[in-house]
Structure 1
Amino acid sequence: MAELLHLLPCRHLSAKPWNFTALFSILLRSSYCSVPAQNKREDPQGERAGKWLSLPPFSPSIDSSLISKEIAGQASLEKREPITALKWVRRCCPELPMSLIQKLFRLRQVRKQSTIPKGTIIENNAGEKQIRRVSAKSAISLGDVILLPVSSEKSTNQMGGCSCSDDEINFIRRLELYKDSAMIVINKPPGMSVQGGVGIKYSLDKLATTCLKYNNPEPPRLVHRLDRDSSGVLVLGRTRISTSILHSIFRERTSGAVSHVSENLKIRSRPLQRKYWALVIGTPRDPNGLISAPLAKVVLDDGKSERITIVNDANIEKFTSSNHALTEYRVIRTSIQGYTWLELLPLTGRKHQLRVHCAEVLGTPIIGDYKYGWQSHKKWQPIACSTLSTKYENIPIKKLPFGLELEGGSIDEKQPRLHLHCRQMVLPDISVALKHLQSESSNYNLSKCEKINLVAPLPLHMQISWDILGYDS
């Protein structure tokens, strides 16, 4: 500052003309100076305390939507648009609401940490880190790190951990089917909510933060959802980048299926495959097929409850919007008692898609689905099977944590539980793909990314029903 004041004209002390070159040099130097996070003039409440949430360093190769398309063999990563600070925050933090992100930029609470390049006017400081405010539309360069106030994560992160005992932590960890640096996959038990809400004390998103974080700096994040009463394969991302890529893969599966309705979907390459098992009442007319039926939400007369229904030409005027839904199915086994085991492959991801398609399109509601198959359950009669009494009578009844009750609910009960289970999922190996993408010298072809095959054992009530109907698992 003293140097700058010396160059400014002084009406009474000197008539020396301004040195514009030197003045410009000093001003430019001040705009590029390295500003530590403890600089009180920038943000006394934020930077002085060092309370920043650092996003992953910017890498042009890490574009979740393009990565998911290249994995499916549909796009090239060379076709990129310039990435702004806003786009990078949205890509790294898919769980943050857009309104909050825009507010942070509007209030100038977002920073960018970058390295001073060589060849600048401040050559002596080349290689040092500088922190500056950044606008939403500012382009970012390779290696730049975006910093958000840590309060943004605290105010919106619904995955705040909860207090768990050692037994509870071990119970959740025993659900693991697979774990690597990019994701954790668990076998969700029936009766446990995936997300928190009104009246929900325990949910997997919060439990995962406490029980499945391990030594990772970031908590696991949900990639998709399962109904509370269903079970099976559930995927969580372990970093913001891997979660964003997995989100894009799930979205690409849905949008890709809808845009290729007329094609033969069975032979089309899919980066993501999901297979559900369901025990239904009755038998479909055809042993296999493709269900293509749009779905829409209906609010019931009480104004609080809602359900999903099929949209057809007769009632299409009643709905302002609907979502196309596609499901492949095939019969696994039929029984003389009039029940059928189905394998269901959802090509889109709509709420209650499988339950509605089974009940309203195939006319075979899933056992234990009292929302969409209540009429069929009015005449429900449990199936007595004395031969299984000795097989399961020696299983000790344990008191499970989180209020779970996994005993009972098979077809020999008066009130069976929902028989819908995400049995299998095939996913690209995101951890390997990310390692190659973050290597500048790698020419890895994402379309040849290896797949991970995940299989979840049936829950106890479905396994008992399987045994009652006389099948060998």
Structure 2
Amino acid sequence: MKPSDKVRQFTVSDDDDGIRLDRWFKRNLPQIGFATVSKWARTGQIRVDGGRAKPDDRLQAGQVLRVPPGGEAKHKAPKKRRELTEDEIAEAQAMVIRETPSAIVLNKPPGLATQGGSKTTKHVDGLLDAFVRSEDDPRPRLVHRLDKDTSGVLLVARTPGSAASYSKRFSGRSARKVYWALVVGVPEVREGTIDAPLAKQPGTGGEKMHVDEENGATAKTRYRVVERAGTRAAWVELEPLTGRTHQLRVHMAAIGHPIVGDGKYGGQDAFLTGTISRKMHLHARRLIIGTPETKGAGGKLDVTAELPDHFAASMEALGFDLALSDAAPLRDEPPERTPAEKKQAARRHAKQFRKDRRGERRSRTISKATAKKKAKGKPKGKRK
């Protein structure tokens, strides 16, 4: 008899805390389809802590889920994982700068793509099997990306639950990302925000972005000049307030100071003469993000990635002091709220406004009643 021919019981893990019941099945028992889950819920065959449950009910860690027998749909056998070579495993391990129960933080080298494509066979995603300890362990998942030629901090989630948690933080813009860049020339304004909407450039097949004031999506980047090498180049600290494709590269080129080595957006003007490398000089230096382990406790994961060799050599050649940036970080301003957060705040404001108005009307009613009562209690004057 197969295990699925018997009634099964599962304890909801911390990783699945807050997930919808139908999502729990998709994550933990993907062979059972949504139609089956809905039918079981409707007929009372699924039980959570002994009670009936609906597909959209939220589960809590520690609850016991009763699953009836059967329900498996015909599906393709899971794709076998590719066996990595010893060199590939060593390459993956060499990138690790921090490990937590929910994440693996890598320092991605320049020239290595984050994900594969039609002509890209070697990438970070293809190396993630190096972190799978056993066949029962879930495969780590990417939750954000870096351009192929951009180096630095790349966070990988260990489980589906932590992937969902980190993805929310990235999409909700509560994650703080700080980049270092070398740019050609020196911006006249030493610190500010670049607000320039971006869109795909026509005729490039979506491979290139450009500033489009009319139809572009909102894109904002905060920058600060940390140090300058005369008028030749500047070391700039960048913080994206939105997450558009190639945002930092397009924004710096748009203000006339392309990132050194970025020929795609800066053309020949993006390269310096002498000993300065022609590689891209854009590095994800630091990531600060809340973690699932500290849910509701305000804990943060704060990780810094060392510069790649070519970038470090350029910094030394230009005489920059690496201690200056971390000693004087960007102002810690709250990130711009998403449309959903703005809508939620507007609802709270409207609710509070109505509550205050009710309080005002009530106080006016009480005042009138009190005034009538006092007037009624006053002795009437004698008639003359």
Kindly tell me: are residues 119 and 352 of structure 1, through their superposed partners in 2, closer, same or farther at Cα, counting changes over 3 Å?
closer
Structure 1 unaligned blocks of 5 or more: 1-34, 40-46, 65-82, 94-99, 121-133, 254-270, 385-410, 434-445
Work out whether residues 369 and 418 of structure 1, in 8 Å CA contact, stay in contact via their aligned partners in 2: yes
**Distance apart, 1:450 and its partner CA:** 1.9
Partners of 1:55 and 1:150 in 2: how far apart? 23
**Distance apart, 1:372 and its partner CA:** 0.8
Instruction: Note if 1:429 corresponds to 2:291.
Output: yes
Instruction: Return the match for 1:458 from 296, 300, 307.
Output: 307
* Structure 2 residue aligned with 1:144: 65
Kindly tell me: are residues 175 and 292 of structure 1, through their superposed partners in 2, closer, same or farther at Cα, counting changes over 3 Å?
same
* Structure 1 residue aligned with 2:251: 357
TM-score when scaled to structure 1?
0.57
* Structure 1 residue aligned with 2:188: 285
SS in 1 for 2:186: coil
Instruction: Return the match for 1:306 from 207, 217, 222.
Output: 207
**Distance apart, 1:189 and its partner CA:** 0.7
* Structure 2 residue aligned with 1:169: 89
| Sequence identity (%) | 31
* Structure 2 residue aligned with 1:21: none
SS in 1 for 2:4: coil
Work out whether residues 10 and 64 of structure 2, in 8 Å CA contact, stay in contact via their aligned partners in 1: no
After superposition, the C-alpha distances for 1:329-384 in whole angstroms (9 at most, x for unaligned) are 10011102611110001111111110111111x2100111111111514xx45214
After superposition, the C-alpha distances for 1:229-271 in whole angstroms (9 at most, x for unaligned) are 1010000111111110000001111xxxxxxxxxxxxxxxxx4
1:189-208 matches, cutoff 5 A = 189-208=109-128
Instruction: Note if 1:38 corresponds to 2:5.
Output: yes
SS in 2 for 1:373: helix
1:83-122 matches, cutoff 5 A = 83=20, 85=22, 88=24, 104-106=33-35, 114=46
Work out whether residues 10 and 65 of structure 2, in 8 Å CA contact, stay in contact via their aligned partners in 1: no
Kindly tell me: are residues 217 and 148 of structure 1, through their superposed partners in 2, closer, same or farther at Cα, counting changes over 3 Å?
farther
**Distance apart, 1:145 and its partner CA:** 7.4
Work out whether residues 161 and 207 of structure 1, in 8 Å CA contact, stay in contact via their aligned partners in 2: no
**Distance apart, 1:144 and its partner CA:** 3.0
SS in 2 for 1:421: strand
Work out whether residues 108 and 152 of structure 2, in 8 Å CA contact, stay in contact via their aligned partners in 1: yes
* Structure 1 residue aligned with 2:151: 231
* Structure 2 residue aligned with 1:131: none
1:10-159 matches, cutoff 5 A = 37-38=4-5, 57=12, 62-63=17-18, 83=20, 85=22, 88=24, 104-106=33-35, 114=46, 137=55, 139=57, 142-144=63-65, 151=75, 154=78
* Structure 1 residue aligned with 2:345: none
Partners of 2:300 and 2:234 in 1: how far apart? 30
TM-score when scaled to structure 2?
0.70
SS in 1 for 2:263: coil
Kindly tell me: are residues 464 and 114 of structure 1, through their superposed partners in 2, closer, same or farther at Cα, counting changes over 3 Å?
same
Work out whether residues 220 and 240 of structure 2, in 8 Å CA contact, stay in contact via their aligned partners in 1: yes
Partners of 2:51 and 2:147 in 1: how far apart? 57
Partners of 1:110 and 1:56 in 2: how far apart? 21
Q: Which amino acid aligns with 1:38?
A: D
**Distance apart, 1:117 and its partner CA:** 5.9
Partners of 2:162 and 2:261 in 1: how far apart? 35
Work out whether residues 260 and 272 of structure 2, in 8 Å CA contact, stay in contact via their aligned partners in 1: no
Work out whether residues 107 and 151 of structure 2, in 8 Å CA contact, stay in contact via their aligned partners in 1: yes
Kindly tell me: are residues 177 and 197 of structure 1, through their superposed partners in 2, closer, same or farther at Cα, counting changes over 3 Å?
same
Kindly tell me: are residues 139 and 227 of structure 1, through their superposed partners in 2, closer, same or farther at Cα, counting changes over 3 Å?
same
* Structure 2 residue aligned with 1:368: 261
Q: CA RMSD in A?
A: 3.8
Instruction: Note if 1:244 corresponds to 2:199.
Output: no
SS in 2 for 1:233: strand
Work out whether residues 297 and 306 of structure 1, in 8 Å CA contact, stay in contact via their aligned partners in 2: yes
Q: How many residue pairs end up in the alignment? A: 310
SS in 2 for 1:348: coil
**Distance apart, 1:166 and its partner CA:** 1.9
Kindly tell me: are residues 233 and 381 of structure 1, through their superposed partners in 2, closer, same or farther at Cα, counting changes over 3 Å?
closer
Partners of 2:115 and 2:233 in 1: how far apart? 32
Kindly tell me: are residues 472 and 186 of structure 1, through their superposed partners in 2, closer, same or farther at Cα, counting changes over 3 Å?
same
After superposition, the C-alpha distances for 1:283-341 in whole angstroms (9 at most, x for unaligned) are 112100111221111231xx6453111122xxx2xx4xx32111111001110261111
Work out whether residues 276 and 343 of structure 1, in 8 Å CA contact, stay in contact via their aligned partners in 2: yes
Work out whether residues 109 and 149 of structure 1, in 8 Å CA contact, stay in contact via their aligned partners in 2: no
Partners of 2:112 and 2:74 in 1: how far apart? 30
1:382-393 matches, cutoff 5 A = 382-384=273-275
SS in 2 for 1:178: strand
1:211-222 matches, cutoff 5 A = 211-215=130-134, 217-222=137-142
1:371-450 matches, cutoff 5 A = 371-377=264-270, 380-384=271-275, 411=276, 413=277, 416-433=278-295, 446=296, 448-450=297-299
Relative contact order, higher structure (CA 8 A, sep 6+): 1
